[in-house]
Amino acid sequence: MIEQESKFDANARSSAGAVGLMQLQPATAQGIAKYTGGSKFVLSDLDDPEINVRYGAWYLHHLMLKYDDERTALAAYNAGQDNVDRWRAAHEGIQFSETREYVDRVERLKDIYRRAYASELGLNG
Distance CA 71, CA 64 (A): 9
Q: Which helix (DSSP H) or strand (DSSP E) does residue 102 occupy?
A: helix 97-116
Q: How far is CA 36 from the centre of its chain?
A: 17
> Is 92 among the residues known to form the active site?
no
Options 5, 50, 70, 101, the catalytic residue: 5
DSSP letter at 19 equals B
List the catalytic residues.
Answer: 5
